[in-house]
Amino acid sequence: MSRMLDGLGDAARAAGDSAADTLTATVTIDALESRVRRGVRRRRQRLGALAAVALVVVGAGAVVAPRLLTDAPLPSGPIEPAGPELVRSDGALTVYADGTMSVLTDSGRIVDLPAPGPDAPPYVAPTSETLCAVDTAALEPGWVYASGEAQQLLGHGRPQYIDDAYSRQTLVQGQQLAPDRSNGFQPLAFELEAEPALASNIAFRAATVATWEGLAVGVLSQLDAGPATWTAGEGTAQETAVIQMRALAEHSYSHCADAAHLTDKHGQYLQRYLIVDVFAIDHSGSSTLLATHTSWTGTEFAQ
């Protein structure tokens, strides 16, 4: 066994000496040096080619870029703004010079309200002459919206009356109301649900028209630019602003000239129409009509 191991060791040493002689041979060293020199030359040629390409690109840019800058036509005349000029912002309401408005809702949506049309009413109280001339037969109970955008901002509307205990009671269309303690009309009011972000910019213009057999006999109106407001369902998906218009002063009726002989209500059945215009205002003079709600009630007065 020892002889076999000695033989293997001698063979390994002979193979190692042969490999060393081969690596240190002049021919082998010369071949390795030649390969290294060829690799260096190739790398230098590649780097040179890349440098030449970069020089061409930079030179072309130096020629073309100034020409593009000098040949580009400059705009002539005043530069038109990208959109209508902003007039002012009031809370979530923004007013533009062309009469349009935009509302940033609590959910982050932007609702753009179109500019009022030429026949859109301003936020001013109507005259008694105008109200006495209203064609009550043409009044449709319920909502009439100024635009689809306005409808997105408004919720339920509830006509109300103030009972003898000075509490608000919700009305239904055509409800029959008894006279109040002094044999007069029960005061009418209104309540609205709306987008919370717009609540502080909601204003009411309300009017009542009392009629006898279709003829207007008495009218009154009021503006309410600071209605009572609170939030219902706060922190939920149903969060909404509740806005209450103050009650109309029923003792302030103006009598219509064509019905002067009907000023005494005793023994008569009268219908009253409550017409409520809902406006968005910025408290600085700008306004736009959002919707109109109409309702009616009846009252029979004793002899």
Instruction: Classify residue 107: in a domain, yes or no.
Output: no
Instruction: Kindly report whether the global pTM for this prediction surpasses the value 0.85.
Output: no
CA distances to 10, 11, 37, 108, 276 from 15, in Å: 9, 6, 30, 84, 112
C-alpha 41/C-alpha 47 separation (Å) is 10
- Quote the percentage of the chain above a pLDDT of 90: 48
Q: Average of pLDDT values for 248-271?
A: 76
pLDDT of residue 5: 45
Domain assignment present for residue 278? The answer is yes
Q: Which of the pair, 126 or 5, is modelled with greater confidence?
A: 126
CA distance 244 to 13: 109
Confidence grade of residue 32 (pLDDT, cut at 50, 70, 90): very low
Question: Which of 4-18, 166-180, 254-268, 285-299 has the least mean pLDDT?
Answer: 4-18
Mean pLDDT of the chain: 80
Q: Are residues 183 and 279 located together in one domain of the fold?
A: yes
Say whether both 136 and 253 belong to one domain.
yes
Q: Residues 262-281: what's their mean pLDDT?
A: 84
* 169 to 108, 228, 249: CA distances (angstroms): 34, 16, 16
Residues 253, 165 share a domain: yes
pLDDT at 111 over 50: yes
pLDDT for 148 beyond 70: yes
pLDDT grade, residue 22 (50/70/90)? very low
In this prediction, residue 8 carries a pLDDT of 44
pLDDT of residue 53: 44
Is 89 domain-assigned? no
Residue 64, domain extent: 2-71
Total domain count, the chain: 2
Instruction: Give the closest residue to 278 by CA, choosing from 198, 176, 180.
Output: 198
Domain final residue, candidates 32, 52, 71: 71
